[in-house]
Amino acid sequence: MSTGRRHFVCTLEDILDGGGACALVDGEQLALMRVGDEVFAVENRDPFSGANVIARGLVGDISGQLVVASPVYKQHFNLRTGRCLEDEAVSLRTWPCGVLDGRVWVESQAQAAGGARGRKRLVVVGNGMAAMRTVEELLELAGDEYQITIFGAEPRGNYNRILLSPLLAGETAREALMLHPLEWYREKGITLHAGDPVVSIDRRSKRVISASGVVAGYDRLLLATGSDPVRLKVAGHDLPGVFCFRSIDDVEAMLAQAGSARQAVVVGGGLLGLEAASGLAKQGLSVTVVHIRDRVMDKQLDEEAAGLLRRAMEARGIRFCMPARTAAFEGRARVEQLRTEDGRVLPADMVVVAAGITPRTELARACGLTCDRGILVDDTLQTYDPSIYAVGECVQHRGTTYGLVAPLWEQARVCAAHLAERGVTRFRGSKPASQLKVSGIDVFSAGDIAQLRSAESIRYADHAAGVYKRLWLRENRLLAAVLFGDTRAAPQLAELIETQRDVSALRETLLLGESA
């Protein structure tokens, strides 16, 4: 889906290579110019002579730009942007077009105007939260400097993945998740190809090709390909009834199954796994969590906080099987049970795997960009190709990948500033901070608690009130924090961990607040 309707107008063979043909699309006379297997759609009217003759022009290359020469006064127009090389105040309108199964299609809606002012072309690969936060920041800084085209794998606008857990729990409606409906893209003059992911990048000619055959040239390319859920490579992983938990479609499939299911198993005792378990329990299912470690949220919580969280969830009827490794999903026509490596068998009408994420790097690797666990970027979010930037869960920066929202927002801010050529800021990395989204259970964690063996620790516990707090400090700098039951101080603590301010004057109030 995209912002305009597609019209199949002819076959590729109907247009001579290096030449053009006319087409009438929604009352607009267009010139279709062919270069090899690529077709460009521009308006057929020559702005200098007023004659409909551009389709009769000659196609060529001037200083690396594909152009068509008007047969009347010989002005040259860039086929990608429509801009006139001899007079930048003049341009041809351009239309999205492509070739699919040998047939040429053109969209009914022209691309956003701007070639006349020499606007640069930005292609965004990905339509998720990191991508769209970057686009929003860029529009604020330099809204008139780019002609923006976005490709997204899902057939919809950008939505808030943070609210997938409340959606599963029945606490919010699907409509509440939408951040950028399709109308928003049209209002901003952005060409959106939703449900049409990019499948290849040609860095030499600076163009991308989508699954449906759309070809889009770029001056700057932003990769925001996100991540894939870790899929357990065990027997039965592809049985019906085994789900991941990453998208609206995943949640809707889970809810459809939950209506007839009685027992669910969630693989993974991290943030997402516990949120999935809580959501399914709210849908009336009997839920068991299988976790590889001996405590839940083992990367974010110390042993005491993890124990409190486990007991709070057990009080809601959720059971735990841990430490345990999944050996197989078993069933005849669909999943019926999960078997652990130590031989335990858990009945399951459905299984949700929430065992982590893997940065999606295949597209970047295929075009030769340098990748490790993620796409490698510098402090400006630029890849090893100066024309290509990357943000979000697909990125690896200074050896670290990120899956939480706060660092992605900071990446978006910095990247947009550099795309706008107003960049003085740098992304220096971010301390992890997370908050469990389970109604009635307040949990917050910030900092890397696994690296704190030599740090000073101060704690407060009131188990009768269900409150536990612990802070780790070194040389009067706050390194990490865990809060359970009372998370009101979370924003302040996250800021102190990020900025590494001296907290000497705050030590008496950090745990208990100003009333201490």
CATH of the domain at 380: 3.50.50.60
What is the tens place of the pLDDT at every residue in 239-259? 999 999 999 999 999 999 999
In this structure, what CATH number is given to the domain that contains residue 470? 3.30.390.30
Is the pLDDT score of 111 beyond 90? no
**Which of 355, 373, 398 is the endpoint of a domain?**
355
Q: Which region, left, alpha or beta, applies to residue 500 given φ > 0 means left and ψ of -120 to 50 means alpha?
A: left
Does residue 371 share a domain with residue 349? no
Q: Does residue 235 sit within a domain?
A: no
In degrees rounded to 5, what are phi and psi of residue 381? Answer: 70, 20
Position 399 in a domain: yes
338-363: average pLDDT: 97
What mean pLDDT, rounded, does the chain reach? 92
Per-residue pLDDT, 515: 40
Domain that holds residue 83: 6-114
- Of 355, 390, 406, the one marking the end of a domain is 355
CATH of the domain at 66: 2.102.10.10
Residue 201 in any domain: the answer is: yes
* % of the chain at pLDDT higher than 90: 80
Mark whether 223 and 369 lie in a shared domain.
Answer: yes
Question: Which comes out higher in pLDDT, residue 5 or 425?
Answer: 425
Separation of alpha carbons 111 and 114, rounded Å: 9
Show the tokens assigned to 278. Answer: 């809580």
Q: Which residue, of 340, 355, 370, is where some domain finishes?
A: 355
**Residue bearing the bigger pLDDT, 106 or 453:** 106
The Cα 475–Cα 486 span in angstroms is 26
**pLDDT of 234 over the 70 cut:** yes
Predicted model pTM: 0.78
- DSSP annotation of 153 reads S
pLDDT at 114 exceeding the cut of 70: no
Residue 345 and residue 308 share a domain: yes
Residues 123 and 81: their CA atoms lie apart, in Å, by 13
Backbone angles phi, psi at 83, to 5 degrees: -70, 140
On whether both 95 and 157 belong to a single domain, the answer is no
Q: Are 148 and 122 in contact (CB under 8 A)?
A: yes
**Are 385 and 350 in a shared domain?**
no
326 and 348 co-located in one domain: yes
Tell me, yes or no, whether 516 lies in a domain. Answer: no
> Domain check: are 160 and 246 in the same one?
no
Number of domains in the chain: 4
| Statement to judge: residues 368 and 299 lie in one domain | no
| Residue 448 located in a structural domain | yes
pLDDT tens-digit series, residues 264-315: 999 999 999 999 999 999 999 999 999 999 999 999 999 999 999 999 999 9
Domain presence at residue 432? no
The verdict on 262 and 344 lying in the same domain is: yes
pLDDT tens-digit map of 174-199: 999 999 999 999 999 999 999 999 99
Do 296 and 345 fall into the same domain?
Answer: yes
How far, in Å, CA of 313 to CA of 299, rounded?
18
pLDDT reading at 115 higher than 50: no
Tell me if 70 is assigned to some domain.
yes
45 shares its domain with 88: yes
Coil vs helix vs strand at 149: strand
Q: In the block, which residue shows the tokens 């001037």?
A: 62
pLDDT digits (tens, 9 = 90+) for 479-503: 999 999 999 999 999 999 999 999 9
In a domain, 192, yes or no: yes
* Three-state SS annotation for 303-334: HHHHHHHHHHHHCCCCEEECCCCEEEEECCCC
Residue 134 has pLDDT above 50, yes or no: yes
Domain match, 363 and 335 both: no
Mean pLDDT, residues 90-105 = 89
